[in-house]
Amino acid sequence: MALPEEVEALNKAFSGHGIDEKSLVSILGKWKPENRMAFRKGTPHLFIEDERQFEKWDDRRVRLLKHEFMRFKNAVVLWAMHPWERDARLAKEALKKGPHAYGLLVEIACTRTSEELLGARKAYHSLFDRSLEEDIVSLVDGVERKLLLALVSAYRYEGSKVKHETAKSEAQALSAAIKAAHEKPILEDEEVIRMLATRSKPHLQAVNKHYKELYGKNLDEDLAELRLKETVQCLCSAVAYFIQVLDAALRFDADKNTKKALTRVIVTRADTDMKQIMDEYQLLYGDSLTQKIEDTTNGNFKDFLLTLIARSG
């Protein structure tokens, strides 16, 4: 008979993000047929009693577990890639998945440096024999196309100079565009897209500062369109944006696409601003990001993520 503590350990091994491979080997590997049958009968969330009198895997659970088994491999593969190739492949994946994944294009376009974004575009061309801009034009329908195309085509000034009079004027222009959105959708406003796609990040941070001083809210709080919200968040407060993405990805009830962001954020930020992300995560939630990953992930996947974030300590 399978021991209760072994069944509990296996349930935990199959739960959360990733799979606890060591538990599977040490427990399942030694079990006799009757132990495995008892486990199947005792875990109705994993196995279903078939009408032909045998316990079969729940197909939906099998699909989910396949994704969890893949997490460690995917994390290692992404980490080993050149950052340009990594971003190019992530962009391609987002375009294949469709509208619900376009936020990843915004993330790449708005949180990378000008040189990194240019490199991703070069890698995209090399890998797929098409430009990223070309694929956005051909694959993205609707009003989001114009914004996404402008963002990925940007090569922003990266100095610290800001003209505050211009920033204040543009904050007022953005407020006017938001108020007039019922007449002209903001995603169709050429001036709004021009500002978001061409202005430097320090300039847009100043715009956001003036907006809050004038209207009492951050700019993204007054934007109804998800892509515009993400754009402003990534350009003006990238660390806060990544913390929000990590928090959603680390929830036990997160769907598979939301969970995937955990690997992406840790891998892509490990060499840049991970320490700042960790510090602000703790300030915001009162728990360390390290502990949260300890509590919600399993096996080699967990160990690899912890190794990456330890680099920033």
Digit-by-digit pLDDT tens for the chain (313 residues) are 556 788 888 888 888 899 999 888 888 888 888 888 888 888 888 889 888 888 888 898 888 888 899 999 999 999 999 999 999 999 999 999 999 999 999 999 999 999 999 999 999 999 999 999 999 999 999 889 999 999 999 999 999 999 999 999 999 999 999 999 999 999 999 999 999 999 999 999 999 999 999 999 999 999 999 999 999 999 999 999 999 999 999 998 888 889 999 999 999 999 999 999 999 999 999 999 999 999 999 999 999 999 999 987 6
- pLDDT computed for residue 117 by the predictor: 98
In angstroms, the CA 191 to CA 280 distance is: 33
Q: What is the DSSP string of 105-119?
A: HHHHHHHS-HHHHHH
User: Rounded to 5 degrees, what are φ and ψ at 271?
Assistant: -100, 5
- pLDDT computed for residue 217 by the predictor: 95
Q: How far is CA 71 from the centre of its chain?
A: 14
Out of 3.40.50.300, 3.30.450.20, 3.40.50.720, 1.10.220.10, the CATH code matching 159-236 is 1.10.220.10
Q: Which long-range contacts (CB under 8 A, 24 or more apart) does 232-238 make?
A: 232/196, 232/204, 232/208, 234/106, 234/107, 234/109, 234/110, 234/111, 235/110, 235/196, 235/201, 235/204, 235/205, 236/201, 236/204, 236/205, 236/208, 237/205, 237/208, 238/110, 238/111, 238/273
In angstroms, the CA 207 to CA 109 distance is: 19
Please report, for the chain, the start and end positions of each structural domain, with discontinuous segments joined by +: 4-57, 83-155, 159-236, 240-310
In angstroms, the CA 84 to CA 82 distance is: 5
CA angle 120, 124, 129 (to 5 degrees): 155
* Residue of 14, 85, 77 lying closest to 43 (CA atoms): 14
Residues 6+ apart with CB under 8 A from 255: none
User: Rounded to 5 degrees, what are φ and ψ at 49?
Assistant: -75, 115
- Whether 83-155 and 159-236 share one fold: the answer is yes
Any idea which fold 83-155 has?
Answer: Annexin V; domain 1 (1.10.220)
Check if the beta carbon of residue 217 is closer than 8 Å to that of residue 174.
Answer: no
Check if the beta carbon of residue 265 is closer than 8 Å to that of residue 246.
Answer: yes
In angstroms, the CA 285 to CA 294 distance is: 15
In angstroms, the CA 206 to CA 202 distance is: 6
Beta pairing class for 55-57 and 47-49: antiparallel
- pLDDT computed for residue 29 by the predictor: 84
In angstroms, the CA 101 to CA 91 distance is: 9
CATH number attached to the domain at 240-310: 1.10.220.10
